[in-house]
Amino acid sequence: MSDQPLQYLSENREQLLEKLNNFLSIPSVSTDSVHKQDINEAANFLETYLNDIGFDNVAQQDTGGHPLIYAEYNQAGPEAPTVLFYGHYDVQPVDPIDQWASDPFKPEIRDGRLYARGASDDKGQVFMHLAVFEAYMKTEGKLPLNVKVCIEGEEEIGSENLYDVLHDKKQQFDADFAVISDSGMVAQNQPTILYGLKGFTGIEINVSGPDHDLHSGMYGGAVRNPIMALNHILTSMKNENEVVTVDGFYDGVEPLSEEERELIQNVQGEDYAEATGATETASEKGYSAKEHTMARPTFEINGMYGGYQGEGTKTIIPSDATAKITCRLVPGQDPERIQELLEKHIHNVTPSGVTVDVKKEKLSAKAYKVEPDHPLIKKAAESYTKAFGKDTVYVRMGGSIPVVEWIEAIYQMPIVLLGFGTPEDRLHSPNESFLLDSFDKGMETLVYYWSNVNGL
């Protein structure tokens, strides 16, 4: 291969970073409808960029929700392989906003990191792919393989409409393999191939008691307190050993093999307590924090609320209370079945005097595991190692990318998860950032990869 694309990337680094900043400055928060206009602006940015690079059939596809950006490049010829590149341009909400050191939508570089919502998840990594395609087109006038681009705007809200699109337009999105950069490395400068992802499902529990907030002096002692009732329900679902106590939750979960435990042990992972600021780690009895996070199912309360939250005291018994729960699943667990088990359990343990309503999260995903020694995976690892100058490690991770499961289920194509984030990126949190060293070496990795996948 020629070094021209690499040269182009280093010579144009400033302009590329400036362009990335423009992309990150758009508050494309998908979960909140007030940002609809920003979502469209981010979509327009991508449509323009892909046209400028020289892609064909660039279009904003109507999904029923936020637009999906599609583009293709077929000039590598029928002999060359076709890759489906997936990414997303929507980002998480920014609250609590007061904990940000700088404006989440005014990108700022501090100590070699680019701070902005979406810098790592996933606008930054999407941009790296486009910049690499630009480098090839500007220097060699062509790409080394055929490409189909699929960048959605609803990943942070469960890829609301993507499943239908992928399902209804098999012809359009079909390819030889898929590449996704929406994950991270286990440590800075540690090339990491994800060979396993967790599945995902969720429910919302609402407990209703009295039909209005009550004076705690007039009715305290006469009715069930919905918050306390919800507390009793939730504590019956996971104990203090971090073991989920819902009947059947662990059914079908394959036991962690000694080999895999050793593999996980050998991963130079981050110090969880340090990275999170928790006083100490807490994990499922019998498993280390690393084992639980990477390879065991989890049950988390993402939010809970009921009653008075304002200044001072309000002596009421609230009329209702709500909890939002999501679970990360491993191979062997079926999301819909897990939802049913949770719902059944909740109805069984709900105390008298209150009624409970369980809302099931519509979008769920099964866990995903790929063969680590597939040639496309090994080639990715080589490119990774060449760019970062370090051996690539293979890991499973706790995150879920529903689209991965869908692409596998619908297209049966191999999926290469090339993530360039680092554990310190603070995804979904205040002060999200992306390491510029990963930005440079990540693009280098992609240049090596694209120029070597031919014929695999």
- Picking from 60, 23, 21, 41, the residue whose alpha carbon sits closest to that of residue 152 is 60
Nearest distance in Å: CB 350, a copy of itself:
10
> Reduced to 3 states, what is the DSSP secondary structure of residue 148?
strand
Q: How far is CA 284 from CA 241, 250, 291, 297, in A?
A: 6, 12, 9, 9
- Picking from 397, 453, 405, the residue whose alpha carbon sits closest to that of residue 267 is 397
Return the residues of window 151-180 that contact a copy of itself according to CB under 8 A.
157-158
Cα separation, 131 vs 144, whole angstroms: 15
Nearest distance in Å: CB 129, a copy of itself:
22
Interface region with a copy of itself, contact rule CB under 8 A, candidates 45-53, 74-82, 308-316, 444-452: 308-316
> Interface with a copy of itself includes 304 (CB under 8 A)?
yes
Tokens of 43: 């979509």
- Picking from 417, 410, 351, the residue whose alpha carbon sits closest to that of residue 384 is 417
Contact 401, 157 (CB under 8 A): no
47/425 with CB nearer a copy of itself: 425
> Interface with a copy of itself includes 404 (CB under 8 A)?
no
Nearest distance in Å: CB 408, a copy of itself:
18
266/276 with CB nearer a copy of itself: 276
> Interface with a copy of itself includes 286 (CB under 8 A)?
no
- Picking from 405, 372, 449, 442, the residue whose alpha carbon sits closest to that of residue 81 is 449
User: Contacting a copy of itself (CB under 8 A), which of 51, 62, 305, 391?
Assistant: 305
Dihedral sign from CA coordinates of 412, 416, 419, 423: positive
Residues in contact with a copy of itself, counted by CB under 8 A, come to a total of: 102
User: Contacting a copy of itself (CB under 8 A), which of 17, 109, 187, 234?
Assistant: 234
> Interface with a copy of itself includes 281 (CB under 8 A)?
yes
- Picking from 197, 249, 207, 202, the residue whose alpha carbon sits closest to that of residue 362 is 202
170/359 with CB nearer a copy of itself: 359
- Residue 276 sits at φ, ψ, to 5 deg, of -100, -20
User: Contacting a copy of itself (CB under 8 A), which of 252, 286, 303, 375?
Assistant: 303
> Interface with a copy of itself includes 289 (CB under 8 A)?
yes
* Burial per residue of 297-332, b for 16 or more beta-carbon CB atoms within 10 angstroms, e otherwise: bbbeeeeeebeeeeeeeeebbbbbbbbbbbbbbbbe
Per DSSP, 410 falls in state H
Cα separation, 135 vs 129, whole angstroms: 10
144/226 with CB nearer a copy of itself: 226
Dihedral sign from CA coordinates of 169, 171, 172, 174: positive
CA angle 28, 29, 35 (to 5 degrees): 75
Q: Classify strands 214-215 and 316-317 as parallel, antiparallel or unpaired.
A: antiparallel
Give me Rg for the CA atoms of the chain: 23
Dihedral sign from CA coordinates of 266, 272, 274, 275: positive
User: Contacting a copy of itself (CB under 8 A), which of 232, 337, 344, 390?
Assistant: 232
Return the residues of window 179-198 that contact a copy of itself according to CB under 8 A.
184, 198
17/243 with CB nearer a copy of itself: 243
Return the residues of window 324-363 that contact a copy of itself according to CB under 8 A.
324, 326, 328, 351-355, 361
Contact 142, 136 (CB under 8 A): yes
Interface region with a copy of itself, contact rule CB under 8 A, candidates 58-66, 104-112, 166-174, 229-237: 229-237
User: Contacting a copy of itself (CB under 8 A), which of 44, 74, 216, 385?
Assistant: 216
> Interface with a copy of itself includes 65 (CB under 8 A)?
no
- Residue 14 sits at φ, ψ, to 5 deg, of -60, -50
155/444 with CB nearer a copy of itself: 155
354/418 with CB nearer a copy of itself: 354
144/335 with CB nearer a copy of itself: 335
> Interface with a copy of itself includes 225 (CB under 8 A)?
yes
> Interface with a copy of itself includes 111 (CB under 8 A)?
no
Return the residues of window 78-107 that contact a copy of itself according to CB under 8 A.
92-93, 95-96, 99
> Interface with a copy of itself includes 113 (CB under 8 A)?
no
User: Contacting a copy of itself (CB under 8 A), which of 172, 283, 385, 452?
Assistant: 283
Return the residues of window 410-449 that contact a copy of itself according to CB under 8 A.
423, 426-431
User: Contacting a copy of itself (CB under 8 A), which of 22, 266, 315, 348?
Assistant: 315
234/267 with CB nearer a copy of itself: 234
Nearest distance in Å: CB 440, a copy of itself:
23
Contact 148, 158 (CB under 8 A): no
170/215 with CB nearer a copy of itself: 215
Nearest distance in Å: CB 230, a copy of itself:
8
